[in-house]
Chain A
């Protein structure tokens, strides 16, 4: 029941008895008109007072309700007008204090989370550095793949969580190379069949290394499946098309691009235009067409149009 209605009922009930008694006495004394007027005036005054009083309550209480709903939506710091000194004023004043304190604590928590995330990223980077140390030919490769994968993910409209998985996945996609002999990693001549099959274990080894790390859970598919091919001819699981996790498809494309454009034991670095031609040839066979197109759009921006123009001409 509305507060105003309750107060009105109370006021009318309080005014009713005196009004009736007065009316009865005046009526008996032979003044029925005066009796009606007195009774009516008494009830009217009671009604006016009740309405006037509740109006001073209604607005601040409604504002407090709106404020509470705003805070429930996460708008900490929301302040309401304090309607003078009364218990309602105290409530509004305390509400404002609560709201400011919530905003401050929320801010503190945000900073803590940021510090934790920075710490996590530093840890992941140092893990990634372990692969770099083992395989000097690919120095900086993991960082570049992570950066490009995040840009491609952003171009594809991925959410923040997926972007983080792309960053961690890009940094750690080759972590399994820790389990591959250095002599293989540094080889400049083509690998033999048995060497190749050993080399091809690195995604699975990498996935095993980080499997138990909860905060790398979203990045795990990028590590295990970054050598899968869109047409199903990849390893280790031979997944086809969208069965390959998106993060893995993105890291695969970024990895291929960076491998083409940086020098390796078995090849010199290619020009961006040449690398773009190679990637276009892999579109739909190795690389997810949608990922390929997003990658080209990103490279188009990065190279001031050189890459995109070439693809358009092809």
Chain B
């Protein structure tokens, strides 16, 4: 499967890419929300993993733009702040799973599975 990841932190991107490649997925990565939206429209990934607080466009706003076209792409939202506050900040385009940082490889795999089965 093709997974789009977006995070402004290089280390987080590297970690995600390693784990996802280990799971046998293809990875495309973006460094901010705007780039993530562009990449999503071009690459049409099977799922997206977005950081919440990214430059230019937050993960939540990026997700609502990605879904504007009508395609409901499965989404995991990464966040360094606590899940409940993030849940309150998401609108109608809520991500399928909210994953709090720091996370481990198992956490990513589980979140991705949940997001894919929820959609």
Give me the interface of A with B, judged by CB distance under 8 Å: 85, 87, 89-90, 93-94, 97, 100-101, 104
Q: Are B85 and A87 in contact (CB under 8 A)?
A: yes
| B7-51 interface (Cβ within 8 A of A) | none
B87 within 8 A of A: no
Chain A residue contacts of B105, Cβ below 8 A: none
For B81, give its contact among A93, A101, A104 (CB under 8 Å): A93
Chain A residue contacts of B80, Cβ below 8 A: 93
Instruction: State the CA gap A90–B53 with chains docked (Å).
Output: 11
Closest A residue to B100 using CB positions: A85
Q: Can you give 8 A-B contacts (C-beta < 8 A)?
A: A87-B82, A87-B85, A90-B81, A94-B53, A94-B81, A100-B55, A101-B55, A101-B56
Instruction: State the CA gap A183–B82 with chains docked (Å).
Output: 80
Chain B residue contacts of A94, Cβ below 8 A: 53, 81
Q: Are B82 and A97 in contact (CB under 8 A)?
A: no
Would you give the shortest CB distance from A255 to chain B, in whole angstroms? 48
The contact size tier of chain B is under 10
Chain B window 53-97, contacts with chain A (Cβ cutoff 8 Å), 1 for yes, 0 for no: 101100000000000000000000000111001000000000000
Instruction: State the CA gap A94–B58 with chains docked (Å).
Output: 11
Q: Are A104 and B82 in contact (CB under 8 A)?
A: no
Instruction: State the CA gap A94–B85 with chains docked (Å).
Output: 11
A-B contact count (CB 8 A): 18
Instruction: State the CA gap A89–B81 with chains docked (Å).
Output: 8
Closest B residue to A97 using CB positions: B53
Chain A residue contacts of B53, Cβ below 8 A: 93-94, 97
Q: Are A104 and B56 in contact (CB under 8 A)?
A: yes
Q: Are B82 and A85 in contact (CB under 8 A)?
A: yes
Closest B residue to A90 using CB positions: B81
- 13 extra interchain contacts, Cβ-Cβ under 8 A, other than A93-B53, A93-B81? A85-B82, A87-B82, A87-B85, A89-B81, A90-B82, A90-B85, A93-B80, A94-B53, A94-B81, A97-B53, A100-B55, A101-B56, A104-B55
Closest A residue to B80 using CB positions: A93
Chain A residue contacts of B82, Cβ below 8 A: 85, 87, 90
Chain B residue contacts of A93, Cβ below 8 A: 53, 80-81
Chain B residue contacts of A100, Cβ below 8 A: 55
Instruction: State the CA gap A291–B55 with chains docked (Å).
Output: 50
Instruction: State the CA gap A90–B83 with chains docked (Å).
Output: 10
Would you give the shortest CB distance from B101 to chain A, in whole angstroms? 10
Instruction: State the CA gap A100–B32 with chains docked (Å).
Output: 13
Instruction: State the CA gap A97–B52 with chains docked (Å).
Output: 10
Chain A residue contacts of B55, Cβ below 8 A: 100-101, 104
Would you give the shortest CB distance from B29 to chain A, in whole angstroms? 20
Would you give the shortest CB distance from B102 to chain A, in whole angstroms? 10
Instruction: Name, among A89, A97, A100, A104, the residue most crowded by chain B CB atoms within 10 Å (CB to CB).
Output: A97
Instruction: State the CA gap A104–B53 with chains docked (Å).
Output: 14
Instruction: State the CA gap A148–B53 with chains docked (Å).
Output: 50
Would you give the shortest CB distance from A109 to chain B, in whole angstroms? 14
Closest B residue to A94 using CB positions: B81
Would you give the shortest CB distance from A11 to chain B, in whole angstroms? 25
Chain B residue contacts of A85, Cβ below 8 A: 82
Chain B residue contacts of A89, Cβ below 8 A: 81
Give me the 3 closest cross-chain CB pairs, A-B, nearest first.
Answer: A90-B81, A97-B53, A93-B81
Would you give the shortest CB distance from A77 to chain B, in whole angstroms? 12
Chain A residue contacts of B85, Cβ below 8 A: 87, 90
Would you give the shortest CB distance from A87 to chain B, in whole angstroms? 7
Closest A residue to B57 using CB positions: A101
Instruction: Name, among B56, B80, B85, the residue most crowded by chain A CB atoms within 10 Å (CB to CB).
Output: B80
Closest A residue to B102 using CB positions: A85
